[in-house]
Structure 1
Amino acid sequence: MSAQPLKGYRILDLSRILAGPWCSQQLADLGAEVIKIERPGEGDDTRRWGPPWLPESKEAAYYLAANRGKQSVTIDIAQAQGQALIHELVKQCDVVLENFKVGGLKKYHLDYDSLKAIKSDIIYCSITGFGQDGPYAHRAGYDFMIQGLGGLMSLTGQPDTELGGGPVKVGVAITDIFTGMYAANAIMAALLQKSRTCEGAYIDLALLDVQVGVLANQALNYLTSHQVPQRLGNAHPNIVPYQAFPTSDGFIILAVGNDAQFKRFCEVAKCDNWIDDPRFKTNALRVENRQILVELIKREMLKQTTDTWLAELEVVGVPCGPINTLDRVFADPQVQHRHLKITLPHPVDGQVDLVSNPIRFNHEALNAKLPPPLLGEHTSQVLQDLLGLSDLELAEFKEAKIIA
């Protein structure tokens, strides 16, 4: 694979669950060497977060989603000799990534100050629920809780006045994923800075900070108007019509982003009278008269099937789409054309299906070639290659249960 922009960089990954592993998987896909440190006999919690599982290795699908491209090394960091091994590995690495509670690694001498004393230019990225300071810094943070605390769930779900109304979390751990991507972005910025200054960096990332940061237009809606945004179901707070509508046999998403698109939609729907209706002539007017227009559109959309609407609206360039289940997603011709499902060889199960990294770099997809590793699969190899340990030393460490 020629497109490996981070080739030559080495990441020591002490993280687990999702935010940290998502970050290090991104770095692995970009070409970095990632050494995933795991607890002997236990490993990343997500290895057991199933079903579903791979049939032979019994690795959970959750774990498989975030650990492509890594080498698994099992070291007991609670033992002094295990800490010494980590210290030696740090000398061979550019980045340390961790998501322990604030201060959680200090007692193991694996905190930033301890490792900076060993390698002065180390880039150290800490991911926590609430950051390294503040009144909540000591608390554990989980995606679901942060979606609520950080405001996302107040914006997601049907209004209280409608059947099934109430706050709803996003269907994937989106705050963890965003945090992982921000972490990867920050690490790459730190590597770029290091190439100019020869200095390392300390990166403090908090799930709550990220959740507030990605409230995007909704945050600015509030800060600009001082009006608290309410849940709108599938509707958009600033654009109308921009939501899901029932058809005669299902649903369709209608995403009319400007007045020209609205005009073309009206023509397809044979509702030309809406075009010059003073209530609907501009997007601002359509937002103001949302309820009236949405009810009119609902009646029209029920007259034809989803496929009919999709075909007719696509011809005139009105953005629209179906609401696919995942089987239909991976059967979609565009998804298949872009090779968004990939298959890698697996040492126990023969092969494993994964989702491709969406980045195309010089016309190539960026996907690490290593499958998600078995627990401790690379312990001996990494410790021999990087630290020069002998077979006898490895055997002694295993006997002492420092490695497995």
Structure 2
Amino acid sequence: MRTQVGIIGAGPAGLFLAHLLRQAGVESVILESRSRAYVESRVRAGVLEAGTVETLSALGLDARMKRECMIDDGLDIRFRGKTINLDLPGLTGQHVVIYGQQEVVKDLIASCISLGQPLEFEAKVTGLTGLDGERPEIHYLQGGEDKVLTCDFIAGCDGYHGVSRAAVPEGKITHYEKTYDFAWLGVLSRSRPLPDMTYTNSDRGFALCSRRSTQVSRLYLQVGADENPEAWSDARFWDELHQRMFDADKVEIVEGEIFQRDVARLRSFIAAPMQYGRLYLAGDAVHITPPTGAKGLNLAVADVRSLAGALGHFYRTSQRDKLARYSEHCLKRVWRTVGYSTRMTELLHKFPEQGAYRRELQFAELDFIHSSRAAQAAIAEQYVGMPYEPI
């Protein structure tokens, strides 16, 4: 096969990029190693910033989101019997939208298929060649047959463990990484959620109550890095959540059927630059944020908006100036966003190695935020998201 842009990965980054390129009149083919059913069932975050909502709207793909989403106007942080309530519209003039990432992916895939956008599932990429030449190639295995996709450019949107970043010659990309000594045990429950996204920093550890719909809650507990989710019975999970949320009387948090559970290890990761030759990296392939800030999907969309704009400019003008600035442009947002998520992670979790001194400093900072509108506005502004700036 031959195309203008070969996209590796049918997660949010790859799917958004294909739609944005199509809108700009640029051809692309998406190669995804997993099945459609697997991709559509992956549960991830569901907090959409204004820029992501705007992108869905500009693509004409926001109809189901508008019907089924929830508007989130508040963010609560609990600690030592106090609650910091961040009034998002009051502090920033904006809100966030709650709509599951897997639902966004379903909408994007359905649109790809209806539009005839080339999207190949169960196409496992085995290697990339010619990245520093004029016609890079993607080698992949599908249905037991070795195939090749020849491109003008390759977009690596295949996640942290994908082949794209690994194809860059050693020494051409620098990795910055921090791995935390704990994880999040997450569950989906058929139960009415709390009205606002609610974090807590308790002496038993971090917890988070968030929403996926009016009847489905997404709930998290900080656990050990190697925790087995099956070691947590439903009763144990609910008891621990009540205690960490200062709901000892069990009157606030509604319990329900837990129908999915998983454990996510926390890490921060950035690879720079985000490009090599004719390969451009986007989304989790090139950066991972701690989930505390709910930024992964939104950061991926900002990446591919920039990449699509630069590629569209190239095909209109034959000029590569915007493509040359892609990495530098995106990394400004990436570092600020990872910085915000890292600060929230360090503020809200109980660290295994943390002594009494650091613990009291945490609570002193939370007390300051509790009493300072300016400090609350700074957190709220970053939570709702930075305005998108084109290259």
On whether the aligned pair clears a TM of 0.5, the verdict is no
| Higher percent of residues as strand | 2
TM interval, short-chain normalised:
under 0.3
**Structure-2-length-normalised TM-score:** 0.25
**Structure-1-length-normalised TM-score:** 0.25
